[in-house]
């Protein structure tokens, strides 16, 4: 029910942008099996750099929830997300070695640098918990909706890529994203009009950064 969920209202309001982020040609090419493996390898290397910047971002959200949220379950969910990052970094290293991608020799593309700078702004500036929680939910959800689409229904996703798609597309990760959405919604409903406006702007910014990130992966 959209009336209960401000974030669901924004997903509907910014439908076009949301679809471009979650049904990107790169994702569609994975699902229909036409993906170019060199694009996949480029994505893998660039995303490893991104996750390196995502770690301090997630810990800053955890710190804000620790200080500002009276709700124990919020902290537990965000703590779970933070704790999973160690595994995620190992996954990238393992996947990179399978594909022969040298993670030490990677230079970030402009879209990645800009997205990382956006993440850094949450840790360096004193950004409100509501706004940070909204960004966190949006970032995770774009990956969940994108990769789950590659393993749903009548897909032709190459076997080599199923593990990657399952990593973010599995139903536990989907449940985790729903929990993050509930946290964001609860915060937004209690927030001032200014904070609500800022959270919506951050949601739109995440979608734009995600689209640019996919564009970078699929172009040569």
Return the residue nearest ligand HMH (CB atom). 143
The residues, ordered by sequence, that sit 6+ positions from 16 with a Cβ below 8 Å of its Cβ are none
Q: Is residue 81 within 8 Å of residue 185, measured between CB atoms?
A: no
Judged by CB under 6 A, the chain residues 32 through 71 that form the site for ligand HMH are: 47, 50-51, 54
Tell me how far apart the alpha carbons of residues 129 and 89 are, in angstroms, rounded to a whole number: 25
Residue whose C-alpha is closest to residue 64's, from 208, 173, 212, 183: 183
User: What are the CA-CA distances from residue 108 to residues 44, 209, 214, 219 (Å)?
Assistant: 12, 14, 13, 14
Select from 26, 79, 21, 58 the least CA-distant residue to 135. 58
Contact map string, positions 189 to 218, toward ligand HMH, x by CB under 6 A: ---------------------x--x-----
x/- map, 130-149, ligand HMH, by CB under 6 A = ---------xx-xx------
- Catalytic site residue 210? yes
Q: Which residue among the candidates 53, 140, 200, 210 is catalytic per the annotation?
A: 210
Question: Residue 129 or residue 143: which is nearer to ligand HMH going by CB?
Answer: 143
SS3 154: coil
Least separation in angstroms between CB 34 and ligand HMH? 22
Nearer to ligand HMH, 180 or 187 (CB): 180
CB of 70 to ligand HMH, least distance (A): 27
Catalytic residues: 210
Residues contributing to the site for ligand HMH (CB under 6 A): 47, 50-51, 54, 139-140, 142-143, 210, 213
């Amino acid at each position: 029910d959209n009336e209960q969920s401000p974030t669901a209202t924004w997903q509907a309001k910014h439908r076009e942008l949301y679809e471009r982020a979650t049904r990107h040609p790169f994702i569609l090419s994975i699902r229909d099996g036409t993906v170019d493996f060199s694009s996949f390898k480029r994505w893998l290397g660039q995303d490893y750099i991104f996750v390196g910047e995502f770690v301090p971002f997630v810990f800053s959200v955890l710190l804000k929830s620790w200080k500002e949220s009276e709700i124990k379950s919020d902290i537990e969910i965000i703590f779970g997300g933070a704790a999973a990052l160690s595994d995620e970094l190992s996954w990238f290293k393992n996947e990179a070695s399978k594909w022969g991608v040298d993670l030490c020799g990677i230079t970030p593309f402009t879209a990645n640098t800009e997205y990382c700078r956006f993440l850094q702004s949450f840790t360096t500036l004193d950004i409100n918990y509501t706004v940070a929680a909204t960004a966190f939910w949006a970032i995770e959800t774009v990956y969940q909706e994108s990769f789950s689409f590659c393993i749903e229904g009548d897909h032709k996703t190459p076997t080599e890529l199923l593990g990657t798609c399952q990593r973010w597309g599995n139903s536990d990760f989907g449940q985790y994203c729903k929990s993050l959405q509930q946290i964001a919604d609860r915060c937004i409903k209690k927030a001032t009009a200014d904070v609500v406006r800022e959270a919506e702007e951050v949601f739109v910014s995440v979608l734009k950064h995600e689209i640019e990130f996919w564009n970078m992966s699929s172009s040569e």
